[in-house]
Amino acid sequence: MKQAIIFPGQGSQSIGMGREIAASFPEARAVFEEVDDTLSQKLSTLMFEGPLEELTLTENAQPALMAVSMALVRVLEKGNIPIHTFSYAAGHSLGEYSALCATNAFTLSDTATLLRARGLAMKDAVPNGKGGMMAILGGDLETIEKLCEEASQFGICTIANDNCPGQIVISGEIVALEQIPALAEKHGVRKCISLNVSGPFHSILMEPAALIMKKYLEETPTRDPIVPILPNVTAVPETRHDFLRNMLVRQITGQVRWRETLLKLQDLGVKRLVEVGSGTVLTGLVKRTCPEMEVFSIHTPQELDAFVNKISV
């Protein structure tokens, strides 16, 4: 059966993530130790014990989520499920870095360094209180595009994440986002939820962060991934490392086309998706976008065993 591996993004973090894996597998512990050493920080202790407020800081959450995903990848490899058994790889926002690391385009230490830089750059790109994000539930893409267009009369407002049917996240200046609830009601959209994030991610307001990451990425050695990656901004499989590096720069200000990514994987004949990392956010998005597709979420030793047993049958 053709399968793809997918990696979660920010918002999937939780206290205790990776702790059971680290306690059970030396390969996982080695990943956490290398990330700790690279960042000169006991990030693993923060992941395992908290506090949540510190873990949720963008500059901590991004490398932490990648570390959990990579620890699980290393355990899968030890269990005779190497990355090349997957036909494609993709990740949601920062998860794209996890996908590139898992497929050997980046080293683990370089990925941790890049994500620490990315988190800091994104946090500092826009002054506190100027920008934000909002989840729109119940409207289609065309309707939300109209909402953003109308709100743009007051300030920058754009679609940030097209996650799944009925769930789209917008990003922009607070003065524009404040207009959305009234506009949404007029267009019959069910619900708008302001998100607790530190900035207007995946919007043009992140251009300062994109310029910083362009420099970091140009200085980081890259290789062609051993499995095709579907970048967020194109949702089309690619293996050229220089192209994928440029997509990471564009991703900072560009839209995460996750719904399109899942549909593209389905069109490519993928029958099974495996979410590797903290939480089950992507698993839920798969079920709402491609309900006929088999999906696994792997975070704990028990989930690992269940997956290994399933594909060994």
Residue-level pLDDT at 309: 84
Asked which of 146, 163, 197 is the last residue of a domain, the reply is 197
121 and 184, same domain (yes or no): no
Spell out a b/e string for 262-297, using b for 16 or more CB atoms within 10 Å of the CB, else e. bebbbeeebebbbbbbbbbbbbbbbeebbeebebbb
Q: What's the pLDDT at 152?
A: 97
Given a cut of 70, the residues of the chain with pLDDT beneath it are 313
In sequence order, what DSSP letters do the residues of 285-313 get, joined into one string?
HHHHH-TTSEEEEE-SHHHHHHHHHHHH-
Residues 96 and 233 in one domain: yes
How many C-alpha atoms does 92 have within 13 Å on its Cβ side? 29
Q: Tokens 């990925």 correspond to what residue?
A: 111
Q: Which of 197, 220, 243 is the last residue of a domain?
A: 197
Residues 141, 36 share a domain:
no
Active site (annotated) includes residue 202: yes
Residue 13 sits in the same domain as residue 93: yes
Supply the CATH number for residue 152's domain.
3.30.70.250
Contact 272, 245 (CB under 8 A): no
Q: Which string of DSSP letters, residue by residue, matches 242-275?
A: HHHHHHHHHHHHS-B-HHHHHHHHHHTT--EEEE
To the query of whether residue 93 is one of the catalytic residues in this protein, the response is yes
Phi-psi region of 229 (alpha: psi -120 to 50; beta: other; left: phi over 0): beta
Question: Quick one: pLDDT at residue 207?
Answer: 98
Residues 140 and 106 in one domain: no
Residues 35 and 177 reside in one and the same domain: no
What is the number of other CB atoms lying within 10 angstroms of the CB of residue 188?
Answer: 9
Pair (230, 290) in one structural domain: yes
pLDDT at position 132: 96
- Within 10 angstroms of residue 185's Cβ, the number of other Cβ atoms is 11
What is the residue range of 116's domain? 3-125+205-312
pLDDT in tens, 138-192: 989 999 999 999 999 999 999 999 999 999 999 999 999 999 999 999 888 989 9
**DSSP assignment of the chain:** --EEEEE--TT---TTTTHHHHHH-HHHHHHHHHHHHHHTS-HHHHHHH--HHHHTSHHHHHHHHHHHHHHHHHHHHHTT--GGGSSEEEESTTHHHHHHHHTTSS-HHHHHHHHHHHHHHHHHSS-TTTEEEEEEES--HHHHHHHHHHHTTTS-EEEEEEEETTEEEEEEEHHHHTTHHHHHHHTT--EEEE---SS--SSGGGHHHHHHHHHHHHTS-----SS-B--TTT-S-B--HHHHHHHHHHHHHS-B-HHHHHHHHHHTT--EEEEESSSSHHHHHHHHH-TTSEEEEE-SHHHHHHHHHHHH-
Considering only CA atoms, which of 170, 4, 182 is closest in space to residue 87? 4
CATH of the domain at 99: 3.40.366.10
Tell whether 76 and 100 lie within a shared domain. Answer: yes
Query: Does one domain contain both 241 and 269?
Result: yes
Say whether both 9 and 117 belong to one domain.
yes
Looking at the fold, whether 167 and 283 belong to one and the same domain comes out as no
User: Of the candidates 198, 234, 232, 206, which has an alpha carbon nearest to the alpha carbon of residue 7?
Assistant: 232
40 vs 177: CA distance, rounded Å: 38
Q: Encode pLDDT of 209-231 as tens digits.
A: 999 999 999 999 999 999 999 99
Selecting among 202, 203, 278, 299, the annotated active-site residue is 202
Q: Which pLDDT does position 196 carry in this prediction?
A: 84
Q: Looking at residue 126, what is its pLDDT?
A: 95
**Final residue before a domain boundary, out of 197, 224, 250:** 197
Catalytic residue among 93, 98, 198, 203: 93
Is the bond into 51 cis (omega within 30 degrees of 0)?
Answer: yes
* Same domain, yes or no: 81 and 135: no
* Structural domain count of the chain: 2
- Chain centre to alpha carbon of residue 40: 24
